[in-house]
Amino acid sequence: METNHPWCGRSIVSDQEESSEINDMLNPKTMLEATRLTRAGRLTEATALLQRMLRGETAPDMSFDSAVDNALAGRTPPIIDAKAETIDGTDRPLFGAATSARPNRFGVLRALSDRVRRRSGLGFQGLMPPAPVSTPDIVPAGGKFIEATYSNPAGTRTYKLYIPSRYQGQALPLIVMLHGCTQSPDDFAAGTRMNLIAEEQTCLVVYPAQPSEANPAKCWNWFRPTDQRRGQGEPSLVAGITRQVMREYSVDPQRVYVGGLSAGAAAAAVMGATYPDLYAAIGVHSGLACGAANDLPSAFVAMRQGNLADALGSGDISPVLRNEQAVPTIVFHGDRDTTVHPRNGDHVIARSMRITNLRKTVHRGRVPGGHAYTRTIHTDPSGRAIFEHWEIHGTAHAWSGGSPVGSYTDPRGPDATREMLRFFLEHRIQTAAPTR
C-alpha cells in the first residue's frame, strides 16, 4: 500500500512496509527493531542494535550514554558523517544530520560509522585543508559582499549577498548557494569561487547561513519532513531570502537558480522540488535527492548505501514532474565519496527522468594534470540540456575544482563552479514566481 506524502510530492510505501523493506535490503533483522525503538525515543536500545548491525564493530571510546548526556548538557555531540578523518592533523567536520532538538540520535550513528570507516581504510583523500579566508578571495575588485537578515514564522536567517561591480540596476540572474556543514557564507564563497565567476558573468549571488542553533554542525536539515515542505521550515526561509533579494535588487525572475554542497546540495534539491516555479535550474554537488530520507534510519541508509526509496524500487517518487515539467538539474559527485554514496548522484537525476524523447550522450575526458570524469547529458528535441551529470573519478567528498582557500575542495577539477553557472544560464523559467 502506498501513501502520498506532502513533502517533495513523493509517494512512498507506508511506515510498516518501509521498515520491512529496509530490513530485507540490509539483511540484518535488527534494522526493523532499531527503527521502532528510535521512533519511540528509546535511543540507547536502538543504538545498541545498530552497533551490532555494523559488522560487530565495537563502539568508540565514548559510551552512548555519555553522548546523550553531552547533548542534554548543551555540548556539541558527535554528528553522523559530520566529522571526517583527521587529515594533516586537522579534524574537519563535514556532513551532519543532527538537529538541535534531537542531536544525540545522529551522534550515535556517527560514532558507529567512524569505526567502520577507519577499519575499511576509506578516508577523504583529495580534500584540501582550509586556509584563512581573505577578502580578495571572496570579493573581486569593485564588487560588494554585504550581510542582511530575513525572518518569517519559521525563524530567522542571515545571509551574504554578492553584488558584482557592473551592477547598475539592470535585471541580473540570481544564484542561491547553500553551504555544507560547518561552513559559512565566506568560507563557501572562497572555496567555490562563485563570486569570482559571477563577477565575470555579472550575476548576483546570495548565501543563506545556517546557524548552529538550527543544527549543531550548521547543516541544512534536508532529512526532516518539516524541512521538505513548501511554505514551511527551511524551504520557506530559503525561498523567503530569495524573494527578499528579488524585491530589493533588480533580478530577472526567469533566471533564478539554487545550488549547494553536501547537506546544502540536498537542501537545493528540496528547493527545486518544492519551488519549481521559483528556480529555473538547480545544482547538486555531492548531495542527495529530495525525499531520500524522512527519518533517522532512512537518512543513515541513504547516505551510506544510496537513495533509499530508489534502492527499494519505490514507484512514483518523482517530486517535480507532475505536469511533465522538469526542473533542469546539474549534478556533480566524486566516485570515491565515502560520506554520501555516489549512487545518490544517479538518483538525483533518476527522480526527475519522466520526460520522454530525451537524447542521452556521454562524454569522457580528463582535466590536464587533474581528474578524469564522465559527463552524461540528457537533451530535449531542441538540443537543450535538461539534465547533466558529472561523475568525477578519484574525487572524494569535496567541491570539484574549488580553491584550497576554502574548506572541502579538490582543486584538481573539473571546475564545478564554472560548469554549474554555465548550465544555469542556459535555462530560464517560463512563469514568474508566485508571492507565497
Greater confidence (364 vs 126) lies with 364
Q: Which residues contact 46 (CB under 8 A, 6 or more apart)?
A: 34, 37, 38, 108
- Tell me the average pLDDT of the chain: 75
Q: Which domain holds residue 197?
A: 135-425
- Closest by CA to 174, choosing from 157, 156, 194, is 194
More confident residue, 323 or 376: 376
CA–centroid distance for 251 within its chain: 25
Among 120, 143, 170, the domain boundary falls at 120
pLDDT confidence tier of residue 299, bands split at 50, 70 and 90: confident
| Same-domain pairing of 88 and 166 | no
pLDDT of the residue at 295: 73
> How many domains is the chain built from?
2
pLDDT in tens, 178-204: 999 999 999 999 999 999 999 999 999
Q: Going by C-beta distance under 8 Å and a sequence separation of 6 or more, which residues neighbour residue 101?
A: none
Q: Of the residues 120, 154, 180, which one is the last residue of a structural domain?
A: 120
Q: Are residues 300 and 396 in the same domain?
A: yes
* Residue with the larger pLDDT of the pair 423 and 321: 423
Structural domain contains residue 162:
yes
Looking at the fold, whether 64 and 153 belong to one and the same domain comes out as no
What CA–CA distances, in Å, run from 214 to 220, 221, 227, 266, 351?
A: 8, 8, 11, 16, 28
Whether the CB-CB separation of 342 and 287 falls below 8 Å is answered with no
48 and 98 inside one domain:
yes
- Rounded CA separation 320/317 (Å): 9
Residue 432 lies in a domain: no
**Same domain flag for 178 and 96:** no
Select the more confidently predicted residue: 295 or 180. 180
The yes-or-no verdict on residue 98 having pLDDT over 70 is no
Q: What SS3 class is residue 2?
A: strand
Chain centroid offset of residue 320 CA: 17
Q: Judge whether 282 lies within some domain.
A: yes
CATH at 234 = 3.40.50.1820
Same domain, 332 and 229: yes
What does pTM read for this prediction? 0.73
Going by the DSSP 8-state scheme, the letter that residue 90 receives in this structure is B
Do residues 363 and 412 share a domain?
yes
Query: Do residues 167 and 113 both lie within one domain?
Result: no
Question: Cα(20)–Cα(240) distance, rounded to whole angstroms?
Answer: 39
Identify the domain boundary among 85, 120, 155: 120
Residues 277 and 412 in one domain: yes
Establish if 430 belongs to a structural domain: no
Residue 171 falls within a domain, yes or no? yes
Q: What is the band of 136 on the pLDDT scale with cuts at 50, 70, 90?
A: confident
Residue 188 in domain: yes
Q: What is the pLDDT of residues 364-408, one digit of tens each?
A: 999 999 999 999 999 998 899 999 999 999 999 999 999 999 999
